[in-house]
């Protein structure tokens, strides 16, 4: 029986754990993958205050070690169902149940699928959602990046370390990515742009050979040859196990106020999985700290 159970060990969950354990709460983090969450897939982080440039795995390691040092218990496992009303709250894992008087949901987000033919069939055979993981396979080859947000542009820049050319295919004629990333991309001789175009199909038999794109201006179609396709068309909240809980919006994000509280007493959410105007490491960590403080105050009332 815990004071606080945190689901997810990304920056939101780790920050919540550090604040809760330092407040003497008996705290457990349940994580189904690697500590650090999405940070593990980011080679260079340049916007976390105090670090001009830090590797995602390195920052993950530091946050994780700090959490363990202050007394957070770590449990490897996936929460498959949750009973959050009343006391205690119960989290169902494959190998048992965890009970706690309060819960912070910090399950983050994962890449959205594009939903075109060839995407599933060629996943792992040229189609990827992680440049940091797979970029090195495309040494001196042509690759395509789909999307126009921070992820697409940042990862396109990363891919120029290996690829011969990187073509960003975007459905509009302006990028959504932050200005500093845009400037770097426009100034990189390896990066090309195909504007106002939607990918209709990823081509290839046993591995990717290119993508079929259609112009949304004149409806013309053409095949862009490539050996790799990196898809960055946004993220999807990891909240499937909360369906029916009444705390999700229509897109699956957990609805909270500025105090990170959901509509269920004693249940909080932090980071990318909640309704928030900014999905970054710094805001996820900030959310985690706020959620832990309000969880502490809630526990005081029991
Ligand atoms: P996550 O990091 O997603 O962590 C959630 C954790 O919960 C995961 O480890 C997951 O395994 C776990 N989990 C999910 N469901 C369950 C379950 N049911 N049971 C148990 N565990 C579960 N932000 C920046 O500030 N700077 C950057 O440079 C930057 N670069 C990025 C590059 C890319 C390619 C991407 C995709 C994102 C980048 N971001 C960057 C965004 C940043 O990584 C996220 O905003 C941040 O990681 C969100 O933290 P989080 O803790 O809310 O969620
Ligand atoms: P995002 O900001 O939602 O951008 C998704 C991009 O994909 C948009 O350009 C969108 O086009 C495009 N898109 C969406 N659906 C599409 C479809 N069906 N077909 C073609 N294109 C489609 O997602 P993200 O870039 O993954 O970023 C997610 C979060 O992580 C953001 O909050 C971001 O700030 C954060 N992040 C930060 C950094 C950093 O370095 N600071 C790096 C990575 C991620 P439109 O522009 O037309 O909508």
Average pLDDT over residues 144-149: 98
Ligand that comes closest to the CA of residue 230: 1
pLDDT band at residue 71, thresholds of 50, 70 and 90? very high
Structure tokens at 39: 């940070």
The band of 88, judged by pLDDT with boundaries at 50, 70 and 90, is very high
- pLDDT score for 193: 98
231-284 residue pLDDT tens: 999 999 999 999 999 999 999 999 999 999 999 999 999 999 999 999 999 999
- Ligand 2 atom 39: the closest Cα is on which residue? 150
The predicted-structure confidence for 166-193, as pLDDT tens digits, reads as follows 999 999 999 999 999 999 999 999 999 9
pLDDT at 298: 98
Atom of ligand 2 nearest to the CA of 152: 25
Residue 132 banded pLDDT, cuts 50, 70, 90: confident
Strand partners, 29: 6, 74
Helix 11-22, helix 281-300: angle, nearest 10: 40
Q: Answer yes or no: are the C-beta atoms of 174 and 195 closer than 8 Å.
A: no
Q: 201-224 pLDDT, tens per residue?
A: 999 999 999 999 999 999 999 999
Alpha carbon of 71 to ligand 2 centroid (Å): 36
- Ligand 2 centroid – CA 153 distance (Å): 9
The phi, psi pair for 237, rounded to 5°, reads -65, 145
The pLDDT of residue 227 is 98
Q: Is the peptide bond before 69 cis (omega within 30 degrees of 0)?
A: no
pLDDT at residue 41 greater than cutoff 90:
no
> Whose C-alpha lies nearest to ligand 1, atom 47?
38
- Mean pLDDT (the chain) is 97
37, pLDDT greater than 90: yes
Which residues' Cβ are closer than 6 Å to ligand 2? 47, 114, 146-152, 154, 171-172, 176, 198, 232-235, 279-280
Beta 89-93 vs 96-105: how paired, if at all? antiparallel
**How far is residue 165 from each of residues 75, 175, 184, 203, 210, measured CA to CA in Å?**
42, 19, 15, 18, 13
The residues lining ligand 1, judged by C-beta closer than 6 Å to any ligand atom, are 7-13, 30-33, 37-39, 41-42, 45, 47, 78-79, 106-109, 151, 154-155, 238, 241, 271-273, 279-282, 284
- pLDDT-derived band at 165 (thresholds 50, 70, 90) equals very high
Q: How far is the CA of 10 from the centre of ligand 1 (A)?
A: 6
State percent of the chain over pLDDT 70.
Answer: 100
Angle at 241 between CA 238 and CA 247, to 5 degrees: 85
Q: Would you state the pLDDT for residue 43?
A: 83
* Helix/strand/coil percent split, the chain, to 5: 25, 30, 40
pLDDT at 234: 95
Instruction: Provide the whole-model pTM.
Output: 0.92
pLDDT reading at 69 higher than 90: yes
Question: Whose CA is closest to atom 48 on ligand 1?
Answer: 272
**Range in 16-20, 45-49, 98-102, 267-271 the model is least confident about:** 45-49
pLDDT at 65 over 90: yes
Query: Which region holds residue 64: left if phi is over 0, alpha if psi is between -120 and 50, else beta?
Result: alpha
The per-residue b/e assignment along 147-174, b for 16 or more CB within 10 angstroms, e otherwise, is: bbbbbbbbbbbbbbebbebbbbbbeeee
How confident is the model at residue 290, as a pLDDT? 98
Reported confidence tier of residue 44, pLDDT bands at 50, 70, 90: confident
Q: How far is the CA of 298 from the centre of ligand 2 (A)?
A: 35
Distance 122 CA to ligand 2 centre (A): 22
**Active-site residue numbers?**
130, 133-134
């Amino acid at each position: 029986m815990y004071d606080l159970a945190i689901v997810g060990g990304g920056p939101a969950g780790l920050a919540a754990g550090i604040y809760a354990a330092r407040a003497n709460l008996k705290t457990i983090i349940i994580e189904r993958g690697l500590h650090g969450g999405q940070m593990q897939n980011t080679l260079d982080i340049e916007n976390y205050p105090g670090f001009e440039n830090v590797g995602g795995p390195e920052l993950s390691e530091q946050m994780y070690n700090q959490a363990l040092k202050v007394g957070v218990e770590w449990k490897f496992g996936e929460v498959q169902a949750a009973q959050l009303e009343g006391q205690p709250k119960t989290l169902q894992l494959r190998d048992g149940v965890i009970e706690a008087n309060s819960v912070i949901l910090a399950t983050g987000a994962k890449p959205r699928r594009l939903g075109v033919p060839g995407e599933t069939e060629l996943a792992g055979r040229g189609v990827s959602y992680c440049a940091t993981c797979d970029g090195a396979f495309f040494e001196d080859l042509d690759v395509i990046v789909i999307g126009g947000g921070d992820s697409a542009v940042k990862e396109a820049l990363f891919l120029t370390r290996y690829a011969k050319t990187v073509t960003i295919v975007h459905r509009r004629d302006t990028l959504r990515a932050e200005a500093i990333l845009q400037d770097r991309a426009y100034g990189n001789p390896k990066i090309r742009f195909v504007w106002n175009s939607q990918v209709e199909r990823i081509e290839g038999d046993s591995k990717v050979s290119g993508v079929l794109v259609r112009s949304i201006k004149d409806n013309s179609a053409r095949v862009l040859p490539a050996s790799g396709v990196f898809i960055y068309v946004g993220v999807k909240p990891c909240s499937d196990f909360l369906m029916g809980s009444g705390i999700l919006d229509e897109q699956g994000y957990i609805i909270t106020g500025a105090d990170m509280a959901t509509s269920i007493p004693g249940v909080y959410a932090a980071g990318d999985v909640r309704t928030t105007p900014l999905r970054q490491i710094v805001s996820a960590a900030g959310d985690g700290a706020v959620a832990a403080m309000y969880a502490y105050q809630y526990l005081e009332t029991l």
